[in-house]
Amino acid sequence: MKTTPLGARWLGSPNFTAGRDGHRMDVQPAWVVLHTMVGTVESANARFQQPGQQASATYGVGLDGRIVQWVSEDDAPWANGNTGTGGVGDNLDSIAIEHEDGGDFNGPRTPELYAASAALVRDICQRYGIPIDRQHVIGHRECTGNAPTACPDSLDMDRIVRVAVTGAPEGDDMDPTLAAKLDEMLNVLGSGGDNREPNPWIVATLNAILAGVQSVSGIKSELDAIKAEIEAGGSVDAASILARIEKALQTA
Ligand SMILES: [Zn+2]
What is the whole-number distance in angstroms between the Cα of residue 141 and the centre of ligand 1?
A: 7
* Environment of ion ligand 1 (residues, CB < 5 A): 35, 140, 151
User: What architecture is the 1-169 domain classified under in CATH?
Assistant: 3-Layer(aba) Sandwich (3.40)
What is the whole-number distance in angstroms between the Cα of residue 69 and the centre of ligand 1?
A: 16
Give the span between the Cα atoms of 138 and 146, in whole angstroms. Answer: 14
Give the span between the Cα atoms of 45 and 189, in whole angstroms. Answer: 37
SS3 readout for 55-80: CCCCEEECCCCCEEECCCCCCEECCC
Give the span between the Cα atoms of 87 and 162, in whole angstroms. Answer: 25
What is the whole-number distance in angstroms between the Cα of residue 81 and the centre of ligand 1?
A: 9
Give the span between the Cα atoms of 196 and 141, in whole angstroms. Answer: 21
Tell me the residue length of the chain: 252
What is the whole-number distance in angstroms between the Cα of residue 181 and the centre of ligand 1?
A: 28
pLDDT tens for the chain, residues 1 to 252? 899 999 999 999 999 999 999 999 999 999 999 999 999 999 999 999 999 999 999 999 999 999 999 999 999 999 999 999 999 999 999 999 999 999 999 999 999 999 999 999 999 999 999 999 999 999 999 999 999 999 999 999 999 999 999 888 886 556 667 767 777 776 666 554 444 455 566 666 666 666 666 566 666 777 777 777 777 777 767 777 777 777 777 654
SS3 readout for 148-196: CCCCCCCCCHHHHHHHHHHCCCCCCCCCHHHHHHHHHHHHHHHHCCCCC
Beta bridge partners of residue 138, listed in sequence order: 33
Mark residue 30 as left, alpha or beta (left: phi above 0; alpha: psi -120 to 50; beta: remaining): beta
pTM for this prediction:
0.71
Chain centroid offset of residue 74 CA: 20
DSSP letter for 109, please: P
What is the whole-number distance in angstroms between the Cα of residue 151 and the centre of ligand 1?
A: 5
What is the whole-number distance in angstroms between the Cα of residue 9 and the centre of ligand 1?
A: 21
Domain ranges of the chain: 1-169
What is the whole-number distance in angstroms between the Cα of residue 80 and the centre of ligand 1?
A: 6
Residues in contact with 199: Cβ distance below 8 Å, sequence separation at least 6, in sequence order? 189
